[in-house]
Structure formats: structure tokens, C-alpha cells
Amino acid sequence: MSAVTFTVNGRIVTLDADGADTLLTVLRDRLGLTGTKEGCAEGECGACTVLVDGVPVDSCLLNVHAVAGSDVLTIEGLATSDGRLSPIQQAFVDNFSVQCGFCTPGFLMTLTALIADTPTPDEVTIRSALSGNLCRCTGYSTIVDAVMAATGQTERS
Amino acid sequence: MTVSVGRSVVRQDADPKVRGQAVFGVDFELSGSLHAVLVRSPIASGRIRSVETSSAAAVPGVRLVATAADAPRILSGLALADQPLFAGDVVRYEGEPIAAVVADTVTIARAAAARVVVDIEPLPVVASLSAAVAPGAPLVHADWSTYRPSPGLPDWPRHDNVVGEMRFDSGGVDDVFSTADVVIEDVYTADRQYQAYLEPKSATAVYEAGRYTIHAAHQYHFNVRDRTAAALGILPSRVRVIGHHMGGGFGAKLDVGLEPYAALLARLAGAPVKMVNDRVEDLLSCNSRENAIIRVRSGVTRNGRILAREFLVDMDAGAYAGDTVFLTSIALFVAEGPYSVDRTRVVARALYTNTAPTGAFRGVSGTYLYFALERHTDNLANALGMDRRDFRIRNAIDAGHTMLNGQVLEDSDLLRAAFDAIDEVAPWETLGRGPNRGVGIAATVWLTNPMPGAVTLRLEPDGSLGVVTGAAEIGTGAVALGVRQVAAEELGIDPDLVVLTMPDTDAHAYDGGAQGSRTTHIVGRAVQHAAAGLRERIFGQAAKLLDSGADELEITDGRVRMVSDPQRTVTLGQVAGAAMFDGGPIISSGSYATPAPKHDPDAATGLLFATFPTPTYHVHVAEVEVDPVTGRVTVLRYLVAQEVGRAINPAGVMGQIQGGVTQGLGYALWETLQIGDDGRYRQRSLEAYKLPIALDVPRVEAILLEHPADAGPYGAKGVAEPPIVPVAAAIANAVADATGGSIVRLPITPDDVLNALESSKE
């Protein structure tokens, strides 16, 4: 056990963690941030995706000590402090991009990073960016629709 | 003019889901919860010599270790009572539970579970369908003859490793085969498919005052109640099941999973117990879609009439009967499919093997049965030198077609409309042109599950409408959109004023679960029945407030008004408030179950699933390109014409089609659980199990065919299950067309494509 300090959704946290504690288990079990999901614990499904200093990572594979001093953003940190959804969150609601919703937090984190990086991504770029995120319900099309809407590339229906 | 039905209203549960606030089964935790993990058999078949638990029990933080000795000595099952909670004497599949460890944390529980020493003497493994019925095959269940069907079911023909057999024979089939112009015989195989819902199975249970409360993320809460009670030997009323958001199920969460274990362990531990599968054990133990072998033989005339067919199916039930034994019945409805055949023989068997028990997955056995039927249909057309689409339309069933169970399909001419609808968008003769390209077509008839459902509607003084139902929202939107929009329409209110409940078997009447596209259709009908009673009370109360007759009133836009004097109105909220001390709260309940269509129950033997209620009609067309170097298949276009009755929420229906087709593409091209000679799966993680990713799948072009006069709430029939059913058939036919070779198994691998290309050159 040793102490680690990092920022989660703008809040500084310091906690003791051992070598087996992943960022995912710390977020879910220690910090109560259960919006980040464990789908496979082997980096295949992307349900546990969070942003570390703006970069999407599988939090299930990352030892929590690896984020010491970093800025971690989770799904709970996407909406504004007054509760307004981010554009990509709102686009998921409007475009039927959510079915069961278990993969949704991971998709939203990956796409938040994509849009920050590439403000108007084309469809192939979107689908490529989503290579590490599995969705079993939607067949992906409405998720692509949401990105196009959130980036102003389609008329809002 | 509707206020709700037919509009693509967005779902209310999308907001908490995009915020990460929705509490799923794996997120739910009771204070003071302990954590349990199962110790599972490492081999597929063997006799248990001993289970040594003392060193696991000695690990600090471990509360108890349970084995078969701690569980009731009861066999139970969905169809057949053949399964113990824990293996006691023999293990029958890799992953079968042998013991459970309950500890303060899941980490401690897992570490201690690794210290349970199970000594198993290996026995011969029945690893394949052919091995199960080979002469002298070892019996997976030596005591099969002592087993009894689950309560309420009559027994059916079964023997040795044959746990179910459905048999139909119209007579005269062999005579036709000896005289027909052309006789074609094909053999097809299909591998297993894992449902691969993103949320692993979980359960949390607590035992208090002689009752078990189970927190579940499940498709069918009343089945969890009944199956847990059967496994523990108690009355169903001793079990309460409360639903939470669920991360997909696709059929795998219809039968019980971890729930009976969590319940038993909570009682033994005297504290709440939470269990969550890790992904590997979830995959290895999941009730996946069964592997199967299908033999199809047809005799046809030179001008393309189908005179006779034999349809022989072997399905792998795995180590326990599960629900696969029910699925043999589906073969009766697919043997002819949407085509006319004069004489037919159907034999479908479910076989025991030493593999994980199989079960329901969206489209169930229909996926591979239609794959076989439609590949074979292509072969018939090609052998006769006829166009594949023309051959289908020539033989397509017309209105009033009688199925093999004697059921008449009054509206089966809707199938022809589906053929036409696709052709208008993408003319058949323009598709699949060019080197290494091909086109495939497949047509299906599918059903809407008839299981009962119920609802209570509550009109509240704030103007909201409570829709109180045990129906489960699996993610499709069947409750969040379908039931909600029907309720809003019935009361003429904004759908945002509808408040939905989560399932609770203590609080709600029975619901048949999120299966077979039933929820919007069945619970929607129940809503309509309830709404009739609700309106009666509303009009009675409003008549007093407006000083009018109850029959002079109408509801519009959240208000009750006089038809003759629309300025005289009162809000629904005011009506509910006035009623509170004048007769009491305004509520009304309704129930519905689809009546069984008229049929001949003795048409076949072993027919556990005797009718095909509320049928719908579908045509799918796929255009593909194959890479002659790598064997990779690219889906260029995918078209669907789906008869839906009425789309309550068109965007929601389109989402089901895109999602269902994508699962079908995975089934057709990539996904497989192969079984080794040792009975163990070869694909043992999500890394090895290839699910479709965003780059793999095209945007599906779907046409919804509506017939609002049909039975159902505003005409709505089942929409969510059928889109997967024809996909493997359409893709396989397209790949066969592109390669000029033979495609006889699922999934279609790059090697299969290259072999098909090679064989076509010979």
C-alpha cells in the first residue's frame, strides 16, 4: 500500500492503493463512481474507458499508481456543473444511440476525446476511433449519427 | 392524429444512462453485502472424488464455503428437472458449479476459491452431436429415465442422450423422392453463438423473515422467482425479485443464472450476498445459442414446384435440457418456411453433450434453421436454372396458408409486399454485379411471443400517469418507448408525463419477460384494456366537475372537455385530485395474453411450442464482396423489408433492425464457440471471441411495412427479434453467389470463402 494523488472530474483525491488496484476498481469501489463499467477486465470491450490527461484509456488495465498527478475524467464529469449534458451526451439522447446503455459511458469518453482532437470527423474516422468500444445492441449506426449531430455535421432532427 | 404513437419520441432512461447514473445489476449493492464466487469444474466430464474446502475456509475474510452438501437435494430446470445447483457426484460440463466461497470482498473470495481442491476422476467426454448418438455412446445422464418435466408440462419423447424429439410426418414423402424430377439433399452446420451482452450476469440476494429478496438485472423476473423457488424447494411466494437496469441479455438472461446461488448463500451467510461473473466464466458457462446439424432434402418438379421435403435437425442442448428442448418445435415452423411444400417430414432432436447448457438467443434456432432452408432454396433454384428470387416468389405462401401445425396464416400475402418493397429500392438484377461480388436473399415468417402481461395505470393529481408493470426494459425500448407511448396515446397526454416502474414481483402482476418481441404488443394491449377502465372513472369524475353527462366528454391534450362546448374543460390532474376523496385514487388494471391460434395439437409429437402467434413477414437482401486473397467478406449493402403492423416509435424500430442485423452479421461471419474433443470451448475470452466492431458493419437500409388495422396496440406486432433471423441466410447466399461455390456452415470463415472460390474453378 502506498499513497497516490490524482484529479478526478476536477476533484483532487489521495488514497492508499496496492499493486493490484486498477484505476477502474478504485473509481468504482473506492470513489463510488460506478458510471464507469467493467465489461471484460481485459481491455477488449471499452466499457471502462476514461480520459487520462485527455487520452482515452481502458481503466481496467491501468494500475492506479500510473495516474499519479494526472487529470482523470469519467462519465460523471462530462455534464456541466449545473447539470447540462455535453453536446455528445445530448446527441446520444436525441439520436437513439442508447439502448441498454451499459457500453454508453465508454463510448462517450472515447468520442469526447475524438471530438476534442478532430472537431468534424468523417464517418470512417468515427468508426475507426470506436475500434476499442463494443456495443452489442445498436449496431453502431445511431452512435455515428450522434457524433455527426454533435459536431454540427447534420441537421438536428 | 396521434399525440404519441408513430412518433420518434426519445427515451426517458437515456438521460441517466448518458450521465452514468443508471444503476445496473453490477452497480447495485446493499450495505453490509458479502461477495461470493463459484468454484467451477475445470473439466467437462468426471466423477467427483472429493471437494476439500478447509484451506479455503481458513483464509481470513472468508465467511463460508458451500458445496452440494449445503444445498437442497433437488433437481430442477426450465423444461426438465435434470439439474442440481451444485454438482455433487458427477460434473457434466466445464464450468459447472461445484462449490461457492462467500467472503468480505470479491478479491478474498476469488483467492480463496482457488484454494478449494476438487479431485475429479475424468470420464469419457461426449463432445459432439455425432458422439451423443453414436452406438454405445456414454450417457451424459445415466438416470435420464427418472427425470420428470417441470410442473405444468406433459412429458415428451426422450431417451438416452436424446433429451427431446419433435416429429412430424405428413406421409408420402418417400414416394415423392423416388419419382420427383429433381431431388436435392444438403447438410449444414452452425456453431454456437455467445450473447455477449456487455454487462456480465450478476445477482444480489438477502434473506429476511423467511423470504428471499433478489436484486436482478434480468429479462424475466417472474421466471427468476419461480426457478429460484424450484431450485430451493420453496413456494414462489417466498421469493421477491426486484429489477434494475440491465446491460443487455438477448435471451441469455431469461433462465436463472446466479440468482439461486446468491439466495442460498445469503441464507447460509446470514447477510446480503452479491455475485458477479467475471467475463471468462460468463462466456464459458453461458447458455449460448446451440450448435446444430441440419439435413434438408427436397423433391421438385422441373417447373419449380416443391413436392416434398425432409428436414432433420440435431441441436446441442449441452449438459442440461435448459430451454433448448423447447426450441426443437421451431423446426416445425421453418421446415417449409414461407414457401408452399406438398408433403413434409420433420424430425428435430435436442441432444445431451458434456458442454455448457445452451439456450435462448434472439431468433433462437430460427437463425440456423432459416440459414439451412434458404441456402437449400438457392440450391433448388440453381439446379432448376431458375432465378433465385423468382423461384421464391413463385413458391411464396399466399393468404390463408395452413402451416404444418394446422394454424392458418390469414395475412401471409404480406410476404409478397416485402419482396416488392425491397425491389423498389434496390432492384434485384442490379445487385451483386462485378467480380467477387454477390447478392443473397432470404425470406422468413416469425412470431410474436404470446406470454401474459399486465399493467395498472394510475392518474396522479399532478397530471402524470403511472404505468405500473412488471415488464422488463431490456434496452430495446419496448417499455421505455413502446408501452409508454401506447399509454400516453390512450390518455391523450404528453409521453413525458408517463412514469414507468422497475419490475418487482411482489408489487406487479405476472409478466412473461423481455422475450420474443412480446412486450410492446402484449403489455400495450394490457394498457389499452386498463385505459378503458381509467377513462370511465375519469369521465365519471369530470362529469361532476363540469356538470355534464359522462358520455358528453372527450380527453385531449391532458384535459377533459365537453364535446359540444370545448371551452368547458378540466385538467386530468384536477380530475385525479377531485377523485382522491370522492371514490379514491383513479387506478385501473388490465391484462392480456395472446390466445393460442386455432391449431391441431396432435399434428406432431414432442411439440412443446405448438403455435406461431401474431406472425410477421420479412425479406432481407445482402450484397457482398469477397476478397480472393484474404477470404474476407465485406457487406456492401444490407436491405430489410419488415412487416411490423405499426411502428409505435419508428426510430426505435430502426434501432432494433440495425442492432439485430449486426448480431446476425456476427453470427454469419465471425462469432463462434468451437468445442474441442475435451468438451471445452476454444474461444475463451472476448479477445478470442470476435464481435462485430463499428468498422465491420454497414448502415442497414430498412423499410417498415405497416398495417395498422392488425391485432395489437394500434396494430403493433413484435419487431425486435425478427431482424436477426434471416441474416445468416442472406449473407451465406450472397457469399455463395459471389464465390460460385458452396457455403454449408456458420460462421463463414475466410478459409470457407477461399475454398468456395477454389471449388468453383474446378
For residue B232, pLDDT over 50 is answered with: yes
Q: Which sign, positive or negative, has the C-alpha torsion B327, B333, B334, B338?
A: negative
Cβ atoms B499, B537 nearer than 8 A: no
Which of A77, A109, A141 finishes a domain? A77
For residue A37, tell me if it sits in a domain.
Answer: yes
Q: Which sign, positive or negative, has the C-alpha torsion B411, B416, B422, B425?
A: negative
Chain A residue numbers with beta carbons less than 8 Å from the beta carbon of B652 are 96
Q: In this structure, are A67 and A99 located in the same domain?
A: no
- Put simply, the answer to whether A89 touches B19 (Cβ < 8 Å) is yes
For residue B709, pLDDT over 90 is answered with: no
Q: In this structure, are A49 and A109 located in the same domain?
A: no
CA distance A129 to B98: 43
**pLDDT tens per residue, range B9-32:** 999 999 999 999 999 999 999 999
Strand duo B117-122 + B292-300: pairing: unpaired
For residue A87, pLDDT over 50 is answered with: yes
What pLDDT, on a 0 to 100 scale, did the predictor assign at position A157? 46
**pLDDT tens per residue, range B373-432:** 999 999 999 999 999 999 999 999 999 999 999 999 999 999 999 999 999 999 999 999
In terms of residues, how long is chain B? 762
What pLDDT, on a 0 to 100 scale, did the predictor assign at position B1? 54
What pLDDT, on a 0 to 100 scale, did the predictor assign at position B3? 81
- Put simply, the answer to whether A144 touches B686 (Cβ < 8 Å) is no
- Put simply, the answer to whether A100 touches B697 (Cβ < 8 Å) is no
**pLDDT tens per residue, range B23-65:** 999 999 999 999 999 999 999 999 999 999 999 999 999 999 9
What pLDDT, on a 0 to 100 scale, did the predictor assign at position B468? 98
Number of domain units in chain A: 2
Chain B residue numbers with beta carbons less than 8 Å from the beta carbon of A137 are 248, 475-476, 655, 659
Chain A residue numbers with beta carbons less than 8 Å from the beta carbon of B662 are 138-140
Strand partners, B188: B294
For cell 450448435, name the residue. Answer: B291
For residue A157, tell me if it sits in a domain.
Answer: no
Q: How far is B705 from chain A (nearest CA, A)?
A: 21
**pLDDT tens per residue, range B246-258:** 999 999 999 999 9
**pLDDT tens per residue, range A16-71:** 999 889 999 999 999 999 999 999 999 999 999 999 999 999 999 999 999 999 99
For residue A56, tell me if it sits in a domain.
Answer: yes
Which of A36, A53, A77 finishes a domain? A77
Q: In this structure, are A102 and A123 located in the same domain?
A: yes
Q: In this structure, are A116 and A62 located in the same domain?
A: no
What pLDDT, on a 0 to 100 scale, did the predictor assign at position B719? 97
- The string of DSSP codes covering B319-337 is TS-TTHHHHTTHHHHHSST
pLDDT band at B81 (very low <50, low <70, confident <90, very high): very high
Q: Cite the beta strand spans of B689-754 per DSSP E.
A: 701-706, 745-746
- Put simply, the answer to whether B279 touches A42 (Cβ < 8 Å) is yes
Q: Which amino acid belongs to residue B582?
A: D
What pLDDT, on a 0 to 100 scale, did the predictor assign at position B711? 82
**Chain A residue closest in CA terms to B476:** A99
Q: How far is A27 from chain B (nearest CA, A)?
A: 12
For residue A54, tell me if it sits in a domain.
Answer: yes
This model of the complex carries an ipTM of: 0.98
- Put simply, the answer to whether A131 touches B477 (Cβ < 8 Å) is no
Q: With b meaning 16 or more CB within 10 Å and e meaning fewer, what string describes B557-575? A: ebbbbbeeeeebbbbbbbb
Q: Which of residues 633-672 of B touch A (CB under 8 A)?
A: 651-652, 654-655, 658-663
Q: In this structure, are A66 and A96 located in the same domain?
A: no
Which of A43, A77, A111 finishes a domain? A77
Looking at chain B, the whole-number percentage of residues with pLDDT higher than 90 is: 98
Q: Which amino acid belongs to residue B26?
A: V
- Put simply, the answer to whether A127 touches B695 (Cβ < 8 Å) is yes
Q: In this structure, are A57 and A98 located in the same domain?
A: no
What pLDDT, on a 0 to 100 scale, did the predictor assign at position A19? 85
Choice among B199, B290, B490, B721 that is catalytic: B721
Closest listed residue to residue B214, CA positions, set B188, B192, B234, B189: B234
CA distance B364 to A35: 32
Domain at A109, CATH number: 1.10.150.120
- Put simply, the answer to whether B22 touches A101 (Cβ < 8 Å) is yes
For residue B537, pLDDT over 50 is answered with: yes
Domain at A46, CATH number: 3.10.20.30
**Which of A60, A102, A107, A126 should be substituted to probe chain B, the one whose Cβ sees the most B Cβ atoms within 10 Å?**
A102
Flag whether residue B600 sits within 8 Å of chain A, measured between CB atoms. no
3-state helix, strand, coil in chain B (%, to 5): 30, 25, 45
Closest listed residue to residue B555, CA positions, set B537, B538, B578, B540: B538
CA distance B77 to B321: 7
Chain A residue numbers with beta carbons less than 8 Å from the beta carbon of B697 are 139-141
Q: How far is B197 from chain A (nearest CA, A)?
A: 6
- Put simply, the answer to whether B247 touches A140 (Cβ < 8 Å) is no
pLDDT band at B708 (very low <50, low <70, confident <90, very high): confident
Instruction: Determine whether B310 is an active site residue.
Output: no
Residue ranges and CATH numbers for the domains of chain B are 14-21+450-592 (3.30.365.10), 34-125+208-273 (3.90.1170.50), 292-449+599-761 (3.30.365.10)
CA distance B317 to B132: 11
**pLDDT tens per residue, range B173-221:** 999 999 999 999 999 999 999 999 999 999 999 999 999 999 999 999 9
Looking at chain B, the whole-number percentage of residues with pLDDT higher than 70 is: 100
Q: In this structure, are A55 and A13 located in the same domain?
A: yes
For residue A65, tell me if it sits in a domain.
Answer: yes
Q: From the list A45, A74, A75, which residue is nearest B686 (CB)?
A: A45
**pLDDT tens per residue, range B654-665:** 999 999 999 999
Q: From the list A36, A105, A141, which residue is nearest B699 (CB)?
A: A141
Q: In this structure, are A72 and A120 located in the same domain?
A: no
**pLDDT tens per residue, range B389-400:** 999 999 999 999
- For residue B238, which phi and psi values (nearest 5 degrees)? -85, 0
**Chain A residue closest in CA terms to B477:** A99
Q: In this structure, are A21 and A56 located in the same domain?
A: yes
Flag whether residue B475 sits within 8 Å of chain A, measured between CB atoms. yes
pLDDT band at A156 (very low <50, low <70, confident <90, very high): low
Structural domain harbouring A65:
2-77
Q: Which of residues 680-699 of B touch A (CB under 8 A)?
A: 685-687, 691-695, 697, 699
Q: How far is A87 from chain B (nearest CA, A)?
A: 11
CA distance B647 to B703: 11
CA distance A88 to A108: 7
Q: In this structure, are A59 and A107 located in the same domain?
A: no
Q: From the list A102, A130, A141, which residue is nearest B199 (CB)?
A: A102
Alpha helices in B354-483 (DSSP H): 366-383, 388-395, 414-425
- Put simply, the answer to whether A105 touches B198 (Cβ < 8 Å) is no
Q: How far is B63 from chain A (nearest CA, A)?
A: 20
Q: How far is B403 from chain A (nearest CA, A)?
A: 32
Chain B residue numbers with beta carbons less than 8 Å from the beta carbon of A128 are 694-695
Cell triple for B263 = 439466495
Chain A residue numbers with beta carbons less than 8 Å from the beta carbon of B21 are 35, 76
Cβ atoms B331, B346 nearer than 8 A: yes
Flag whether residue B250 sits within 8 Å of chain A, measured between CB atoms. yes
Q: What is the mean pLDDT of residues A2-6?
A: 97
**Chain B residue closest in CA terms to A85:** B19
In eight-state DSSP terms, residue B655 is H
Chain B residue numbers with beta carbons less than 8 Å from the beta carbon of A124 are 695
What pLDDT, on a 0 to 100 scale, did the predictor assign at position A1? 86
Other C-beta atoms within 10 Å of B352: how many? 28
Q: In this structure, are A58 and A121 located in the same domain?
A: no
Q: In this structure, are A99 and A118 located in the same domain?
A: yes
How far is the CA of A151 from the CAs of A110, B18, B19, B203, B421, in angstroms? 14, 17, 19, 40, 34
Closest listed residue to residue B287, CA positions, set B314, B254, B313, B263: B254
For residue A82, tell me if it sits in a domain.
Answer: no
For residue A52, tell me if it sits in a domain.
Answer: yes
Q: From the list B18, B278, B691, which residue is nearest A93 (CB)?
A: B18
How far is the CA of A110 from the CAs of A104, B287, B587, B739, in angstroms? 10, 31, 46, 38
Q: How far is A69 from chain B (nearest CA, A)?
A: 24
- Put simply, the answer to whether B11 touches A75 (Cβ < 8 Å) is no
Residue B318: its H or E element: strand B306-318
Three-state secondary structure call for residue B509: coil
Cβ contacts of residue A151 below 8 Å, gap of 6+?
Answer: A87, A115, A119, A120, A121
- Put simply, the answer to whether B279 touches A135 (Cβ < 8 Å) is no
For residue A155, tell me if it sits in a domain.
Answer: no
Cell triple for A96 = 437513439
